[in-house]
Amino acid sequence: MANKVQIIKGFLDGFVLSVLENENLFTTDIIHRLDELGYKNLSEGTIYPLLLRLESSNLISSDKVYNALGPSKKKYKITPQGLDELQSIKDIWQEFKTLSDSILGGH
Indicate the number of domains in the chain: 1
Lowest-pLDDT choice from 7-11, 27-31, 54-58: 7-11
Mean pLDDT of 46-51: 94
What is the CATH classification number for the domain harbouring 100? 1.10.10.10
SS3 string, the chain, reads CCCHHHHHHCCHHHHHHHHCCCCCEEHHHHHHHHHHCCCCCCCHHHHHHHHHHHHHCCCEEEEEECCCCCCCEEEEEECHHHHHHHHHHHHHHHHHHHHHHHHHCCC
Residue 106: per-residue pLDDT: 63
pLDDT value of position 88:
94
Q: Which residue range(s) make up the domain with 25? A: 4-104
14-33 per-position pLDDT tens digit = 999 999 999 999 999 999 99
Task: Encode pLDDT of 73-107 as tens digits.
Answer: 999 999 999 999 999 999 998 998 899 899 988 65
